[in-house]
Amino acid sequence: MRAAGAWGRVGKGAPVGLLEGKAAVITGGAQGLGLAIAQLFVAQGARVVLADINVDKATEAAKELGPAIAVRTDVTKEDDVAQLVEACQREYGRIDVMVNNAGITRDASMKKMSADDFRLVVDIHLYGAWLGTKAAGLVMKEQGGGSIINMSSISGKVGNFGQTNYSAAKAGIVGLTKAAAKELARGGVRVNAIQPGLIRTAMTEAMPQHAWESKLAEIPMGRAGEPSEVAGAALFLASELSSYITGTVLEIAGGRHI
């Protein structure tokens, strides 16, 4: 039996997960926040598809998770994203949750940033999220419901020096989320976004110590977040606990930039 948190105990029956029987797709699922989300989803009863351009790493992660498959996906290619959604339907019969999480960084000041690096970051984050929202939304409407979660960032709220590409993409995801929520609501499909702040990952821990301490000083709670805390927010938005919530942006930032 899968582990279930206190919220996973439903009615008088045996404990069940918040996502019991649900099928979820997570892009960028081979590592980092995507993998943390996948791990919690599986623990709460979901069957997952890990979509990643690094299919070898995604396959290794899927084997460890249990009820999971891996699909090589370039989120900037419409055919890849369509085939990803089809793979979930073929394997599990439906798609209940879509987490558009895939992303990269190519940081540089505007003076030094190339046009190619600007377009690449915007394409993967924003265009990729649009393709995922569109493909999953169409199927979910036919099913009569579903939840789409788009990964933005606190950078999309305030902007970060050296991240005009990343900040623009993450701000765009907020607009995409709100517009898509309006279009899909009558079909029973909810669309929400998450804005993580400073989260303890391999990438952030590679920062110079002075940069880490500077960011920590901006956080009222006085600490960085953990990947599991972002996953918890995704679980809430994926589950029926948030059944009357759509078009929202949930900040997971310890009070930073409030």
State how beta strands 249-252 and 146-151 pair.
Answer: unpaired
Q: How far is CA 216 from CA 142, 184, 233, in A?
A: 45, 38, 21
What is the CA angle 25-30-86, rounded to 5? 30
* Per-residue model confidence (pLDDT) at position 13: 44
For 218-235, letters b (16+ CB in 10 Å) and e give ebeeeebbebeebbbbbb
* Per-residue model confidence (pLDDT) at position 16: 66
**149 touches 99 (CB < 8 A):** yes
Q: What is the pTM of this model?
A: 0.92
Q: Which CATH superfamily is domain 18-252 in?
A: NAD(P)-binding Rossmann-like Domain (3.40.50.720)
What count of residues does the chain have? Answer: 258
User: At what angle are helices 115-122 and 164-184 packed, to 10 degrees?
Assistant: 30
Averaged over successive runs of 10 residues, the pLDDT of the chain (258 residues) comes to: 35 66 97 96 98 97 95 98 98 98 95 98 98 98 97 95 96 98 98 96 82 91 96 98 98 94
166 catalytically annotated: yes
* Per-residue model confidence (pLDDT) at position 4: 35
Cβ atoms within 10 Å of 174's Cβ, excluding its own: 18
| 25 bridge partner residues | 49, 98
**72 touches 52 (CB < 8 A):** yes
Residues 92, 127, 166, 244: which is the catalytic one? 166
The DSSP secondary-structure symbol of 212 reads H
| Cα R_g (the chain), whole angstroms | 18
Residues in Cβ contact with 11 at an 8 Å cutoff, skipping those fewer than 6 apart: none
Cβ atoms within 10 Å of 31's Cβ, excluding its own: 19
